[in-house]
């Protein structure tokens, strides 16, 4: 059987525009979003408040940037490269992760073969979140 090598990885600068996090909490907390991919990590700096009355954390289009390599297979199709958006809440100096969204960075690369989701606003439900209606909105 002939082994087919993958093409060398391509490096991309991903630019994530953070819109909002909708989450219900019983008290006032600060919301923080962390974007992770392998060993890289970028944190939001806006960190808006949410409370029982105000359930939307508006990030006002804060931009998070990350340089990442994405491999192509022998057919020239970008292979999966998973990144995570982790939502944390902060109350009185205590931080707790309250949800996560897994994103395949390869899906956000525009190419001739499959198009891509680049510049298409995304609204995704938070996994592992006590609020089953919680979601995050962003554009890459």
pLDDT digits (tens, 9 = 90+) for 75-133: 888 899 999 999 999 999 999 999 999 999 998 887 655 556 778 899 999 999 999 99
135 within domain boundaries: yes
Tokens representing 85 are 């958006």
Q: Cα(52)–Cα(54) distance, rounded to whole angstroms?
A: 6
* CATH number of the domain that residue 27 is part of: 2.60.40.150
**Mean per-residue pLDDT over the chain, rounded:** 90
2 within domain boundaries: no
Q: Tell which wins on pLDDT, 83 or 6.
A: 83
DSSP annotation of 133: T
Q: E strands, 38-72, where?
A: 40-43, 49-50, 56-72
Least confident of 61-65, 66-70, 76-80, 132-136: 76-80
21 falls in which pLDDT band (50, 70, 90)? very high
What's the pTM?
0.87
Domain extent at residue 43? 7-139
| Domain tally, the chain | 1
Rounded to an integer, the average pLDDT of 52-57 is 96
Residue 133 vs residues 23, 35, 74: alpha-carbon distances, Å:
7, 21, 40
């Amino acid at each position: 059987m002939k082994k087919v090598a993958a093409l060398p990885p391509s490096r991309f600068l991903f630019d994530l525009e953070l819109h909002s996090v909708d989450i219900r909490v019983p008290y006032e907390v600060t919301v923080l979003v962390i974007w992770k991919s392998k060993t890289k990590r970028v944190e939001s700096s806006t960190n808006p408040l949410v409370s029982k009355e105000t359930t939307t954390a508006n990030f006002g289009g804060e931009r998070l940037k990350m340089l990442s390599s994405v491999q192509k297979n022998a057919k020239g199709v970008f292979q999966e490269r998973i990144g995570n958006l982790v939502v944390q809440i902060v109350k009185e100096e205590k931080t707790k992760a309250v949800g996560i969204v897994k994103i395949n960075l390869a899906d956000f690369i525009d190419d001739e073969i499959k198009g891509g989701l680049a510049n298409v606003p995304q609204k995704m439900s938070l996994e592992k979140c006590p609020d089953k209606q919680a979601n995050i909105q962003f554009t890459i």
